[in-house]
Amino acid sequence: MNIVSMLWKNLWGGSRTMLFPARPKVSEGFRGLVRFDPELCTGCAICRFRCTARAIEFRAGKGDFVWSYDPGHCTFCGRCVEGCKAHALSQDSETPPVYLNIGELKNSYTVARKTTVKAPAAPPPADPKPADSSPGGTQ
């Protein structure tokens, strides 16, 4: 192709990109930011172990724990959401917001551990007494 014709097409062909902050539509099944529901979380920390990007931090303390998520490290793979048995994690279906400073979207929650109420222990079953209480048994 002639360089002059290529330059002419680029100069007078109009814009081929979207201007900021416009965004393209997301495809079906898009996985966005991870959302955390502290009411449902049991504090098992499986999400931290499943996160290969180390976007989730979990620090346990006495009576509470701290759950943190940094979308700047997240690869949006969804492994943490799949592994959460309590369904405390979900993912947005739209693109994450634009941010200008590192850590601007980081979320941190301090959650009190849920106390499990133990059911009262059942009384031990009564031992059935033998029909003949004599030491020698029947003769």
Q: 1-32, pLDDT tens digit by residue?
A: 688 888 888 788 777 777 776 767 777 878 88
**What six digits make up the tokens of 87?**
């369904």
pLDDT score for 91: 92
Q: Per the omega criterion (within 30 degrees of 0), is the bond before 21 cis?
A: yes
* Distance (Å, whole) CA 72 – CA 66: 19
**What six digits make up the tokens of 92?**
């947005």
Q: What is the pLDDT of residues 67-90, one digit of tens each?
A: 999 998 999 999 999 999 999 999
**What six digits make up the tokens of 128?**
């059935």
Report the share of the chain in percent with pLDDT over 70.
76
**What six digits make up the tokens of 22?**
């416009």
- Give the chain's domains with CATH numbers: 26-112 (3.30.70.3270)
